[in-house]
Amino acid sequence: MSFLRHITACNTHDLSHYRPFFVAGQRVGMVREDLCRRLAGFGDPFTIRYDGIAVSESLAGPAERTAAVRSALDRLVEEGEVPPLRGEDYPVLSQWGTEPLMAMDRAAMPCFGLKCFGLHVNGYVRKEDGLHLWVGKRAMDRGVAPGQYDNLVAGGQPAGLSLAENLEKEGAEEASLPPELVRRAVPVGIVSYLMGTEAGLKDDSLFCYDLELDETFEPRNTDGEVERFELWPVSKVAESVERTDDWKFNVNLVVIDFLIRHGFLTPDHPEYMALCKGLRR
């Protein structure tokens, strides 16, 4: 019975088995040692550095890097070194706000420990008896977190879209939010974590938004990711996150951040300080 265990779960990793990964001379990620060994023997487009693995500096720019690594990934997927690609490119950034150094299929991002960004929208309704939060139950056929609870809207940040464009796209697909409504979502900070998984390292930063909705709005999913939406009192949400593992791993953190910012989780809670500090690594 703890909120903090969710933050611990999202920040469990052992960096001693990873080596730095470089693109365009910049350190952008970390590769597991066994994959490093495979990449070292792969040749172009990868080169060995004394301190890690790099995408060859001979490749002229982002487009050339993206194409060359995509071909290599096809072979690495066949060999079972990288999970099946998902056909959606993410930007490879040294940090948020910089120009992409290349793009890479989202499935391969953790294999190289690359920074991924996403957006999560807390959709809430002020009722007479207090705040209520829209909760999405993920479809059972999803590869990630089937049947678990999710935010009203959540999605990764793909290459070629601004955050605002992605918010509009995801809002429409996941909850049928009209553009003029989703634009009212207020950015309220980030949640970030570094999570070791079978594929590699998830170095994720999630932009959090709060969107106040009136009682008449009913979200409706159109992309098959969510089975149904339910409107829960915040107390029920808090109890569920604290006591169960029913929520998608990183949604727990977004909800904990919401509970803190809105004063539902207070300094009296023994985990308060650790939660505040643990939400952003």
**Which residues make up the interface to a second copy (CB under 8 A)?**
95-97, 163, 186-190, 192, 205, 207, 260-263, 266-268, 270, 272-273, 276-277, 280-281
Q: At its nearest, how many Å lie between a second copy and the CB of residue 29?
A: 17
Which residues have a Cβ under 8 Å from the Cβ of 274 and sit 6 or more positions away? 4, 7
Smaller CB separation from a second copy, 217 or 272: 272
| Residue spans of beta strands (DSSP E) within 56-109 | 89-92, 102-105
Q: How far is the CB of 50 from a second copy (least distance, A)?
A: 28
Residue closer to a second copy by CB (options 23, 260) is 260
End-to-end CA distance of the chain: 23
Distance between CA 155 and CA 120 in Å, rounded?
7
134 or 258: CB nearest a second copy = 258
Locus of tokens 């004394």: 50
Question: Could you tell me which residues are beta bridge partners of residue 208?
Answer: 120, 189
What values do phi and psi take at 268, rounded to 5? -70, -25
CB of 251 to a second copy, least distance (A): 18
**Pairing mode, if any, of strands 115-127 and 130-138?**
antiparallel
DSSP code of residue 247: B
176 or 205: CB nearest a second copy: 205
Tell me whether residue 24 or residue 163 sits nearer to a second copy (CB atom): 163
The token pair at 45 is 């487009």
- Pull the structure tokens for residue 272: 């308060």
Instruction: Report yes or no: 204 and 116 within 8 Å, Cβ to Cβ.
Output: yes
In the Cβ-directed half-sphere of 259, how many Cα atoms lie within 13 Å?
A: 27
Min dist CB 63 to a second copy, Å, is 25
Structure tokens at 154: 């959540």
Q: Are strands 89-92 and 130-138 parallel, antiparallel or unpaired?
A: unpaired
CB of 276 to a second copy, least distance (A): 4
Closest CB 246 distance from a second copy, rounded Å: 25
Q: CB nearer to a second copy: give 59 or 206.
A: 206
| Closer of 124 and 149 to a second copy (Cβ) | 124
Quick one: which of 23, 99, 96 has its CA closest to 66? 23
**Taking the complex as a whole, how short is the minimal distance between the CB of residue 164 and a second copy, in angstroms?**
9
